[in-house]
């Protein structure tokens, strides 16, 4: 009776296990030999399922490598580009603030008449010293803008920003006293910037005085 009960329990467990794998026990499962054969068959199914699971995980791992790595690289460069644009925007804003501060300084010295497009005549020694000091500040600001903002070639976005600074330079280069003082203001400045603003000064002088060499 004991062995018969154990056989029935094993048969029930075997049927439950095979049901989980979607496979029905064979008709000969009622005897020990048939049960043994079925156990071997179920073990083979389990081993095949285990190998299939490993292959699936390997496939998923390859997909992560093939798809995830390029995506990570794209995100990295995208974030780097956004950070560079943010830094450029901050630099541009600082330069703009510097020029605004310079214009406030111009307003604080109305006797120098630096807002005029013409040279200021009959300056006293004190006035001339103040003018040269202020023009030195302006040249330093222009040089900083050139070093940080000018490129050749430039992207359309950078070109739009730079045109504003070039307009400022051309506006000041229309003043005769600004052009005349450039030899005093430019020594020690960036060589490329010196060439650049010298060319602008020559162009504006030629535009104001056609046929006259600057």
Can you give the pLDDT at residue 66?
Answer: 67
Tokens found for residue 124: 């006293």
Is 0.85 surpassed by the pTM of this model? Answer: no
Choose among 131, 133, 129, 110: nearest CA to 176: 131
3-state SS of 87-113?
Answer: HHHHHHHHHHHHHHHHHHHHHCCHHHC
Can you give the pLDDT at residue 97?
Answer: 92
Rounded average pLDDT per 10-residue block, the chain, 214 residues: 45 46 47 50 51 71 67 66 75 89 94 87 92 95 92 86 93 93 93 96 89 54
Can you give the pLDDT at residue 195?
Answer: 96
């Amino acid at each position: 009776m004991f062995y018969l009960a154990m056989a029935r329990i094993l048969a029930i467990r075997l049927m439950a296990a095979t049901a989980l794998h979607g496979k029905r026990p064979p008709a000969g499962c009622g005897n020990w030999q048939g049960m043994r054969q079925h156990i071997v068959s179920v073990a083979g199914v389990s081993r095949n399922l285990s190998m299939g699971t490993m292959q699936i995980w390997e496939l998923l791992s390859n997909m992560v490598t093939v798809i995830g790595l390029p995506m990570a690289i794209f995100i990295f460069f995208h974030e780097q580009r956004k950070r560079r644009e943010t830094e450029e925007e901050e630099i541009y804003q600082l330069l703009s603030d510097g020029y605004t501060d310079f214009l406030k300084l111009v307003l604080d010295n109305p006797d120098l008449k630096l807002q005029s497009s013409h040279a200021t005549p009959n300056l006293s020694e004190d006035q001339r010293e103040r003018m040269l000091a202020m023009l030195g500040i302006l040249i330093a600001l222009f040089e900083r803008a050139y070093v940080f903002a000018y490129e050749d070639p430039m992207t359309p976005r950078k070109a739009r920003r730079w045109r504003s600074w070039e307009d400022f330079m051309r506006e000041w280069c229309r003043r005769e006293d600004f052009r005349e003082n450039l030899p005093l203001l430019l020594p020690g400045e960036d060589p490329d910037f010196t060439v650049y603003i010298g060319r602008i000064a020559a162009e504006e002088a030629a535009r104001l005085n056609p046929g006259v060499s600057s």
